[in-house]
Chains A and B, each alone.
Chain A
Amino acid sequence: RSCILVSIGGKNIMLDCGMHMGYNDDRRFPDFSYITQNGRLTDFLDCVIISHFHLDHCGALPFMSEMVGYDGPIYMTHPTKAICPILLEDFRKITVDKKGETNFFTSQMIKDCMKKVVPLNLHQTVQVDDELEIKAYYAGHVLGAAMVHIKVGSESVVYTGDYNMTPDRHLGAAWIDKCRPDILISESTYATTIRDSKRCRERDFLKKVHESIERGGKVLIPVFALGRAQELCILLETFWERMNLKAPIYFSTGLTEKANHYYKLFITWTNQKIRKTFVQRNMFEFKHIKAFDRSYADNPGPMVVFATPGMLHAGQSLQIFKKWAGNEKNMVIMPGYCVQGTIGHKILNGQRKLEMEGRSTLDVKLQVEYMSFSAHADAKGIMQLIRMAEPRNMLLVHGEAVKMEFLKGKIEQEFSIDCYMPANGETVTVTTNPSVPVDISLNLLKREMALGGPLPDPKKPRTMHGTLIMKENSLKLVSSEQALKELGLNEHQLRFTCRVQLQDPHSDTDTLHRIYTHLKSVLKGYTIQHLPDGTVMVESIVIKVSSSTEDPNTKVLLLSWSYQEIYIYL
């Protein structure tokens, strides 16, 4: 499950709030005691951001906001806001009604939770408060999935959620600008995977459907209205056309209405091809695919049916499944993950005898096929994303931390950035170099430029002498004189003197003259003066000679210089 806490510039942000689908007890929820041992989370979080509608990213949201307690803003894209409550309600129904669990959120809680949602548009900067701002980027993967850029002052973090770098039949590829975040947070599983091409997965799907149809079998494809249904329909339609196949393909009613409704709403979230198609016609207007009537399930001969719901837990898809399960010529293709407690989950775990209502058993003789069409990035994709965003540090989550040295090394070598891989429960501290903007007075700037030498290189740091004044929220750099004036202080000049003893029998004047001549010969290029008042000056360093009172052959040289000179001559 995904649930990451980020503290940046004094702000606390929760990224995703997912449910762990493998556990039946409270271990499925994130452990919020990391935030606070007791009480509500509102005071501890500035905002919550949800990347997309998959349950391992948003499944625990109503639990967090209504049962643990959080009243602050929850950000997500418009499609996510529309689809999340549907999935959460389905999930709740299965868990509570079917499995009879008690420590779970209610329908009302889902509604109350969604009231706290503030929807996001792509590429639009949203001010959460006067210091924290966020921006959503297109992530591909599923409808409405976003990567999010979080900025506080000059520090920033990008969280990718789930994304993919290759466009598919109905979604585009993830994209982000060169925002140079201090940290880029992504999944480590991507980096250790090399994905089989989309076409091969589609091929497998077509092959299975075709083989079943050829032997006279019926194929049931339970789908979620907004999942792969549209994509798989386009695929079958093209295939049927090419192969001149005659077996009927149906989709259940309700599926098309919902799908059309959502796609119309969120057309900007799909890819170019879909948008073009949609302009020309209705999304579900196909030549070979027709609306299903429940009586067709009893028709003899081969057919393909797309029906909801996707996990076979209720409704039409379950009804059809019950009718077709007993014939080994038939097939059911599950195109996605099924939650525990559903029939879908059971048959995907190999169960061949199912207990139905009224204690009757259903023998599962048909062929069960599990296919994964979800679009995820892989090793190549993650490197592409890093190249796009140019983060200063990389953070990979959900990996087997012990074993990720190679990957860490690869990222560090290729991009010269640090790569962190915290385990669950571990805290990582990343030091950043925040840039602090400071105004500089024109006089000071002019003076520094007048110092001569080659023109300053804007990219190279340069030492300069000034005074930094911090007043209210502004910082400015001024010359020392100006600072003294502004502060109403007097200037004090410091001169340093040191004594050097020499053995020299000559007179003071002669010794001084000899020193003068010597310095003139070794310190070429410097202004050396022998003044009438009995001193030698090297630039502004003053040298005086006097004899020691005890011994006239011991001369004492006094060297005196002002504070300013130290860094020039040392």
Chain B
Amino acid sequence: MEETEFDDILDDWFIESLKTYKDLHVYQLEHPTQVIEWTSGKTVCVAGFTSSKNEILELRLPLKLFADENKGLCAERDFKVVHGGFTDAPVRCLRHIPGTRCVVTNDGLSSDLQVWDLGGDDSDVIRRTGSVDGSRGVSEGGSRIAARLSSQPQVLHGAESAGVRLTQLTSGQTVYTLETDSADPLSSLHFVSDAVFLAGCSNGKVYIADTRTSAAPQLSPPPPSSGESVLWWTDASAGPSCLDPSSCRIVRLSSCGQTVISDLRNPGGAVSRAQLDVQTRRCNADDVRVSWAPALDDCIAVSGFSGAVQIYSSSVWTTELQEAQPLFEHRGHAVSSQSDDGVPVFVTSHVWHPERPRTLLSAASDGSVHVWDWVDQSAAGC
């Protein structure tokens, strides 16, 4: 594309954005990231995923974003690199252990985890402090990781359903192991309360287990009409609105855009479903993300199928499978990327801000990271 043509399209999108976004920040990292993880209300971690040396960075979000009353007087729009570290392997999964300055990573090549100390005020170095063994030697896709606030720092991890374990970080001891009949590769792990967690499998199964008991986990089978090569991703809504774990909802998204929402009280059934308007492309299992908005009702964000992040409102969905249109689409990465090799850019990760209802961070394969606060143009909905 000619430079002026590209500039015009980009300008058009920016002009449009005056009405469609409250805040918009566009950054360029040196290397793309597949992970964005909150380490505090104002800091996130990102990391590279090349096959050799990579950086793990802890970035502080621009002050302007948080300066609510005095926003006009704050000119500070940039990310600050507060801590950084090096790793010799790709970082495919990164999880912060709440209540600590610790993060745990997995390189996607085996199920072992690396443990890091993010550092405090006196140093800007992120240091490797140890490792946690996975249950198998080598596994495709690597481990999923989950963590929640607890008195003793613990991490829940696994590459397959049979063998998910809860490990004590300081001692390395395994305090719980999930036992399932089959070893299904995982696409996600989520805590819905201190003790209850969900293991979402790529084949669409979801196991619901309680770390306090040794009883067999509940199994929610994959949604019907799920084909052989279809992959599934899951998210569970857990948070301040979810005091009773059984009222949590699970969203399952397939690689062809089919979405099913179920209730933890009735994990086999479906509360609602929809066919999402995702561009089908040969998508990498690693890139797709589906997430519930923590501070909005019934809103889901989907990314990884293209260069856009889509927000859907599931409140209008029914049990009948119907096409759903996104409430909002962030096309910033697609529009502002000038790819040299003709390979279209795709979004590698997104996260919601834990408290600000419509603020998200998204990252793409060209190294861009956007922070955006979208405007809900519809009368009803989120």
Binding site for B on A (CB under 8 A): 191-197, 199-204, 206-207, 210, 238-239, 242-243, 348-350, 367-372, 378-380, 383, 402-407, 409-410, 413
Contact = CB atoms under 8 A, between A and B. Distances in A.
A380 B15 contact: no
Given A196-B77, A201-B77, A379-B30, A405 B14 contact: no
A386 B29 CA distance: 17
Interface in B32-89: 53, 55, 59, 62, 70, 72-86
B124 A210 contact: no
Given A193-B78, A350-B73, A372-B75, A207 B18 contact: yes
30 contacts: A192-B80, A192-B81, A193-B81, A194-B29, A194-B78, A194-B80, A194-B369, A195-B77, A196-B27, A199-B10, A199-B26, A199-B336, A200-B77, A202-B14, A243-B15, A369-B73, A370-B74, A370-B75, A371-B75, A372-B77, A379-B30, A380-B28, A380-B30, A383-B30, A402-B123, A403-B124, A405-B124, A406-B83, A407-B124, A410-B84
B115 interface: no
B123 A405 contact: yes
B168 interface: no
B27 A195 contact: yes
A404 B124 contact: yes
A78 B121 CA distance: 44
Contacts of A350: 70, 73
Nearest to A197: B26
Nearest to A371: B75
Q: Nearest 3 A-B pairs (CB), nearest first?
A: A406-B84, A196-B77, A194-B79
Interface of B: 10-11, 14-15, 17-18, 24-30, 53, 55, 59, 62, 70, 72-86, 121-126, 336, 369
Contact of A196 (B10, B78, B122, B125): B78
Interface of B is mostly: mixed
B86 A413 contact: yes
Contacts of B15: 206, 239, 242-243
Contact of B17 (A201, A203, A402): A203
A353 to B, nearest CB: 16
Residue with the greatest number of chain B CB neighbours at <10 A, chosen from A210, A243, A378: A378
Contacts of A410: 55, 84, 86
B44 to A, nearest CB: 12
Given A405-B123, A406-B125, A407-B124, A193 B80 contact: yes
Nearest to B74: A370
A194 B59 contact: yes
Given A379-B30, A403-B122, 10 more contacts: A199-B10, A203-B14, A210-B18, A350-B70, A350-B73, A369-B73, A383-B30, A406-B85, A407-B84, A409-B125
A243 B16 CA distance: 10
A255 B17 CA distance: 32
A349 B336 CA distance: 35
Contacts of B121: 403
Interface of A is mostly: helix
Contacts of A202: 14
Given A203-B18, A371-B75, A197 B27 contact: yes
A370 B73 contact: yes
Contacts of A371: 75
A46 B72 CA distance: 46
Contacts of B73: 348-350, 368-370
Nearest to A399: B124
Contacts of A405: 123-125
A369 B121 CA distance: 31
Contacts of B17: 203
Contacts of B74: 370
A379 B125 CA distance: 16
A310 to B, nearest CB: 15
Contacts of A404: 124
A193 B79 contact: yes
Nearest to A211: B18
A406 B30 CA distance: 15
A196 B332 CA distance: 14
Nearest to A332: B72
A210 to B, nearest CB: 6
B75 A196 contact: no
Nearest to A242: B15
Contacts of A383: 30
A207 B14 CA distance: 10
B64 to A, nearest CB: 9
A203 B24 contact: yes
Residue with the greatest number of chain A CB neighbours at <10 A, chosen from B10, B82, B124: B124
Contact of A406 (B27, B126, B369): B126
A350 B80 CA distance: 24
A383 B55 CA distance: 14
Contacts of B124: 192, 403-407
B24 to A, nearest CB: 6
